[in-house]
Chain A
Amino acid sequence: MAALDRVKVLVLGDSGVGKSSLVHLLCQNQVLGNPSWTVGCSVDVRIHDYKEGTPEEKTYYIELWDVGGSVGSATSVKSTRAVFYNSLNGIILVHDLTNKKSSQNLYRWSLEALNRDVAPTGVLVTNGDYDREQFADNQIPLLVIGTKLDQIPETKKHEVLTRTAFLAEDFNAEEINLDCTNPRYLAAGSSNAVKLSRFFDKVIEKRYFLKDGNQIPGFSERKRFGGGTLKSLHYD
């Protein structure tokens, strides 16, 4: 197979929400048997058919970068993490449906990742508060995924799901709620799988296609040995 074009998607969230299990499920179509602490960053690759079923179908690599850590870490740890945030094309925000704090921390996670990007629009750094307009303006597609759906008792399900719907609205993003130990949530044809596919399509579109539908000549694998900083290239 010839070298395919690639996009980079970050997977962010608090420790223990299930990012590694999620990435393993998305890429290997299997449940992760022995989850353990992620030190640094672990990457996995998913092959995605853009515009599946249409004549313009094309295959892309989607790199899922799962960055571990806590949002309240020291500044030095944050600067170390920041090296992974370069040239990202999409963000998946993962939170634990049984833990309210992990949902609240998503705002801080998204600000941390978006501040690293040298975006033309320029995301303002406020004192950590979010602003809905920032996210409306944001060029990078977001997706909110809630995990551990099976651990919520039936009585509380409605309340939890309304809360997460508000959360996704704040980010101007779609949301998926699932249980990472059960592959049937992402079975082909289910609404979750459709949302996921739509998200990846959107990421690919933003990266490779101009607004009028023409394709940007793809960058095949090219290692970047930038002298000082590793700047990303943007096409609007």
Chain B
Amino acid sequence: MSFLIDSGIMVTSQVLFFGFGWLFFMRKLFKDYEVRQYVVQVIFSVTFAFSCTMFELIIFEILGVLNSSSRYFHWKLNLCVILLILVFLVPFYIGYFVVSNIRLLHRQKLLFACVLWLTFMYFFWKLGDPFPILSPKHGILSIEQLISRVGVIGVTLMALLSGFGAVNCPYTYMSYFLRNVTDADILALERRLLQTMDMIVSKKKRIAVAHRTMFQRGEVHNKPTGFWGMIKSVTTSVAGSENLSLIQQEVDALEELSRQLFLETADLHATKERIEYSKTFQGKYFNFLGYFFSIYCVWKIFMATINIVFDRVGKTDPVTRGIEITVNYLGIQFDVKFWSQHISFILVGIIIVTSIRGLLITLTKFFYAISSSKSSNVIVLLLAQIMGMYFVSSVLLIRMSMPLEYRTIITEVLGELQFNFYHRWFDVIFLVSALSSILFLYLAHKQAPEKHMAL
């Protein structure tokens, strides 16, 4: 009986998450496009719902809600469904929509989609070989095999995003890095842009006039054909068309210049807006946060390096260590079991909420930047895939932040994965990503004032 009640609760929460994913899709992601293939929306919402349910189960584990056997059952069920979606459903549909964009392959859409999916499976499988993730005693199609590979991809993504985010966050928040932009700079650049546009226009006018006179005289602007045409072209020079192609080249060069100027102007406007923002109260608050985050970022990079160099894997989680410190060194006595449960609930809850929120915001920004009306379906499905993998590997890594008694269910369900490997891999990729982001931002920052001064 209690199993039915528990299942009822789980199903209700899943439906709630599904609704939230649906709304997010409609309001935020697809607000400039029309949804013509509802399959895409359904898949996205389903992936989101099942990913959130996993986090919900962790929270239930800590709080001790629901029967433990029904929890275990739902873990297994959830995991199977998510893996099915991430490995079979979403890649297949990605292949299908990619193929339907290409006009040539329209007839045998399904066939080519299957071919693409098989290629994906092959590379996905090969991915597991170089990593020491499993003991070889498991079968081919077991959960552990699939999860380990999904985990590798997801952890790489997480580490890349974390590394870049840790560096980019202070860079954008702090006003120390803002270049000084005055109104005069912007006006000068705009004037140059309009001058370039005027030059393009006058050259295009000459081309248009030349075409019109040629058309009126009955000459078509093809190359002279036929025998007599060739003889004629020797004596009467086709100077008109030679001249035109020269002008056309100049126009192309000017158009490229106008694009560059436009992008620079947009950049200056954005910087000016940020300078305005930094003078407001909110801006000052973010500036202060930026200093705080930069210290945090440096500390994280330092810790990642220490972990790799000394091959250290943390055995205890932050909650238990914190409690140990307070009890042993500060002499405050309190009920360890009770507090550890609540504190780890809060800590894990905060981690989950911020990572979901951060991921959704990043995905939205990414989507706006690169999607177009043709490719929007494919991109949304790619994002759903990334989101699913990200959440699965979050579960892997969150195990580290929980006290021992709560870790058991994750270990039990996910089988004998080498969790330590994932943490090490996370540290390595985080370090690489953070350092290369620093390099990249440094170069970009250096280059901009030089461009500015070259005007």
Contacts and interface: CB of A to CB of B under 8 A. Distances in A.
B32 A46 contact: no
Interface in A83-103: 83-84, 96, 98-101
B205 A45 contact: yes
Nearest to A75: B273
A205 B261 CA distance: 34
Contacts of B190: 83
Interface residues of A, number: 39
B202 A221 contact: yes
B193 A77 contact: no
A39 B262 contact: yes
Interface string B184-198: 000100110111011
B208 A27 contact: yes
B202 A83 contact: no
Given A76-B272, A83-B265, A101 B204 contact: no
B209 A80 contact: no
Contact of B266 (A70, A72, A80, A230): A80
A76 B270 contact: yes
Contact of B259 (A40, A47, A63, A228): A40
A40 B194 CA distance: 12
A1 interface: yes
Contacts of A44: 204
Interface string A63-76: 10000001010111
Contact of A45 (B195, B201, B213, B266): B201
Interface string B25-38: 00000011110000
Given A16-B372, A47-B208, A83-B193, A77 B266 contact: yes
Contact of B262 (A41, A61, A79, A100): A41
A100 B205 CA distance: 36
Among A42, A80, A100, A228, find the residue whose CB has the most chain B CB atoms closer than 10 A.
A80
Contact of B258 (A16, A40, A70): A40
B374 interface: yes
Nearest to B199: A223
Given A15-B373, A96-B373, A43 B34 contact: no
Contacts of A4: 205
17 contacts: A16-B374, A39-B263, A45-B204, A45-B208, A72-B32, A75-B273, A76-B270, A76-B272, A76-B273, A80-B262, A83-B190, A83-B194, A84-B197, A98-B34, A100-B34, A223-B198, A230-B194
Nearest to A42: B255
Interface string A24-53: 000100000000000111111111000000
Interface of A: 1, 4, 14-16, 27, 39-47, 61, 63, 70, 72, 74-77, 79-80, 83-84, 96, 98-101, 105, 221, 223-225, 228, 230
Contacts of A72: 31-32
A83 B262 CA distance: 10
A27 B190 CA distance: 26
Contacts of A46: 208
Contact of A76 (B191, B202, B207, B266): B266
B32 A14 contact: yes
Contacts of B207: 45
Interface in B237-289: 255, 258-259, 261-263, 265-266, 269-270, 272-273
Nearest to A37: B372
B208 A39 contact: no
A15 B262 contact: no
A87 to B, nearest CB: 11
Interface of B: 31-34, 187, 190-191, 193-195, 197-198, 200-202, 204-205, 207-209, 212-213, 255, 258-259, 261-263, 265-266, 269-270, 272-273, 368, 372-374
Contact of B204 (A43, A76, A96): A43
A9 to B, nearest CB: 12
Given A16-B373, A39-B259, A76-B266, A228 B208 contact: no
B32 A77 contact: no
B374 A43 contact: no
A230 B193 CA distance: 13
Given A41-B258, A223-B195, A228-B187, A47 B209 contact: yes
A101 B272 contact: no
Contacts of B32: 14, 70, 72, 101, 105
Nearest to B193: A83
Nearest to B208: A45
Given A16-B373, A83-B193, A96-B373, A61 B200 contact: no
Contacts of B208: 27, 45-47, 61
B198 to A, nearest CB: 6
* 5 nearest A-B pairs in the assembled complex, by CB-CB distance: A40-B262, A76-B269, A76-B270, A16-B373, A80-B266
Contacts of B258: 40-41
A14 B273 CA distance: 24
Nearest to B374: A16
A14 B368 CA distance: 13
Contacts of A74: 270, 273
A39 B374 CA distance: 18
A42 B196 CA distance: 11
Contacts of A45: 201, 204-205, 207-208
Contacts of A223: 195, 198
A36 to B, nearest CB: 11
A128 to B, nearest CB: 14
Nearest to A225: B191
Contacts of A75: 273
Contacts of B372: 15-16
Contact of A41 (B31, B195, B197): B197
A39 B198 CA distance: 17
Contacts of A84: 197
Nearest to B261: A40
A115 to B, nearest CB: 17
